[in-house]
Structure 1
Amino acid sequence: MLPDRWQWAAEAPGVLRDASARRGAVLLLLDLDNFKAVNDTFGHRAGDAVLRAVASTLRTVVGQEDALARYGGDEFVALCSVADPHEAIAVTHELAGAVRELVVLTPGLPGQPTARISNVTAAIGAAFLPAGYGDVRGIDEAMGHADAALLEAKGMDEDRTCLVFLGAQLRQWREEPGPL
């Protein structure tokens, strides 16, 4: 079981401070695409199974020293220590790919056979925070940038990522889905 947004708010500043002192960090907001359709088609038990499978999958990608939480509804948040923007992009790819490859088998609605749910995708907004960022600015500013990137990714269509690089020059990176 993942921490919720309140536990996240309590632990994330410390994780950012630690990651920022050693290396950089990437803050990722992940929002599942068309999750309501899963609940409407297969029922809420199936939706809960998808959320558990996504949480378990994300936990395999996010390091033990990093932070991961269910932020609300079908949204997740992760804060990962990374060395540079290239590693931030790689982590973003890895999270998107891991979710995309999920196959969830779950009981369907009463009277229906087992449901096989695949093609789970997500929009991901991410903010790369260079070393030292956490000492100067807080998690709230980083969340604001990641949230803006998430909105940009969601506006591009399904299964998209958008990464903002924070530092001396603010840049934005967007990517169409494709092979990792």
Structure 2
Amino acid sequence: MKPLLPHLLFGSVTFEESEEYQEFQYKFLIVVMVFGALFTSFFIVADSIQLNPLGGPHMRSMAFFSTLAMLLFAVLRGRKHLFKPVAWTYEAICLLEYSSALMYVPEDELRLLWFFVNIPGVFILLGKRVGWFITLGTCAGLTLGNTHLSHPYSLPAMATNMAAMLYMGAFFHVYSNRSISYFTRMQAYNTKLHQLATHDPLTGVMNARAYYERCDQLIAAASRKNEGFSVLFLDLDHFKAVNDTYGHAAGDWVLKAVASTVRSSIRRSDAMGRVGGEEFSVFLPATASETAVEVAESIRQAIEDSMPDIGGRQLKVTASIGVAACAGTGQTMQHLQKQADEAMYVAKAAGRNRVSVLKHA
């Protein structure tokens, strides 16, 4: 069960491992919007009890900002695909709110700080280009608008403000650049580690553990849809003779060639794993026995046709393939793989280089 507060803030939304930085941006924006709305509401309450009088125009601006910020929060919560338009809209109302304070609260000499507070969030949420666009636009707007204020800032004060704003822009440009670089590197490392943990290093197909985990997922999906499925169990014929005659380098080439041949013969939705030295298994979702046999036969023929000459001698490698099909639900991968294994041994006993099938209703 999820903790209550994170669920209330972020809703039922999930991110892939590759979306770690996007998840950070999404949650950061929600926290900023909620905190901004609550913080502005505090000023509204303080004005209503005359603790911190701000005046009518700016009060209406703050009420508008607080209401719209909470509406944007409600729109974004649980909808990560709306992040960009919500982030742009929130930035627009922030600039309007800060401009309102600049025009209508002249007694607050530090109100320019709100424009500085805005810059880090823009770099983090909308990126470096937008960050510089907002930074330079703010510098230009403050410079041009200063002369129209009822109490303009002095020239030295404006010069200091502009220099500090440009410095902050440069600081967060470097920060956001390094942050994104860090997340990118971590994503690449995680992808590499995941590949090493789940795939056979020689052939590039899934290893046995990852393959069977994937099959369990596909069986669960088939059960929900009440669909059948099939499993192929493939064993190379006389593979030991290849290693003994041509060497282990040739044996490795054969295994890689077979894996490539099988991959090119199945759908992207199918799963394939190397489950033994020269043994491969293929899971075919939503595939009846007759179709599975056709797929197995095409794989068998493709393997036989793909072997090259080595040292002037024709490399003879074939495969015996067992097929097991499940037309209903409730069948486990362990039991179905056992059936496919038995069918493969029937193919071996019948002379090898052929396809044999066992059915399970």
TM-score, shorter chain, exceeding 0.5? yes
Q: Determine the C-alpha separation between the residues in 2 that align with 1:82 and 1:102.
A: 28
Matched, 1:33 2:237: yes
Residue 154 (structure 1) aligns with: 348
Residue 5 (structure 1) aligns with: 208
Residue 79 (structure 1) aligns with: 283
Residue 165 (structure 1) aligns with: 359
Alpha carbons 1:53, 1:104 under 8 Å: kept = no
Q: Percent identity?
A: 33
Residue 56 (structure 1) aligns with: 260
Decide which of 219, 234, 242 is 1:16's aligned counterpart: 219
Question: Structure 2: which amino acid aligns with 1:158?
Answer: R
Question: Which structure is larger by alpha-carbon Rg, 1 or 2?
Answer: 2
Alpha carbons 2:307, 2:314 under 8 Å: kept = yes
Residue 177 (structure 1) aligns with: none
Q: Determine the C-alpha separation between the residues in 2 that align with 1:26 and 1:116.
A: 37
In structure 2, relative to structure 1, the CA distance for the partners of 1:116 and 1:59 (3 Å cut) is: farther
In structure 2, relative to structure 1, the CA distance for the partners of 1:89 and 1:39 (3 Å cut) is: same
Residue 137 (structure 1) aligns with: 331
Q: Determine the C-alpha separation between the residues in 2 that align with 1:8 and 1:117.
A: 33
CA shift digits 1:141-168 (9 cap, x unpaired): 111111111121111122122101110x
Alpha carbons 1:15, 1:66 under 8 Å: kept = no
Residue 303 (structure 2) aligns with: 99
CA shift digits 1:23-76 (9 cap, x unpaired): 422101100000011101110000000000000000001211111011111000
In structure 2, relative to structure 1, the CA distance for the partners of 1:105 and 1:82 (3 Å cut) is: farther
Q: Determine the C-alpha separation between the residues in 2 that align with 1:117 and 1:19.
A: 43
Q: Determine the C-alpha separation between the residues in 2 that align with 1:36 and 1:26.
A: 28
Q: Determine the C-alpha separation between the residues in 1 that align with 2:287 and 2:263.
A: 20
SS at match of 1:72: coil
Q: Determine the C-alpha separation between the residues in 2 that align with 1:146 and 1:70.
A: 15
Residue 28 (structure 2) aligns with: none
Residue 324 (structure 2) aligns with: 127
C-alpha deviation, 1:104, in angstroms? 3.6
SS at match of 1:26: strand
Question: Structure 2: which amino acid aligns with 1:140?
Answer: Q
Question: Structure 2: which amino acid aligns with 1:141?
Answer: H
Q: Determine the C-alpha separation between the residues in 1 that align with 2:261 and 2:316.
A: 14
* TM-score, normalising length: structure 1: 0.79
Structure with more helix by fraction: 2
C-alpha deviation, 1:105, in angstroms? 5.8
Structure with more strand by fraction: 1
* TM-score, normalising length: structure 2: 0.41
Q: Which runs of 5+ in 2 are unaligned?
A: 1-203
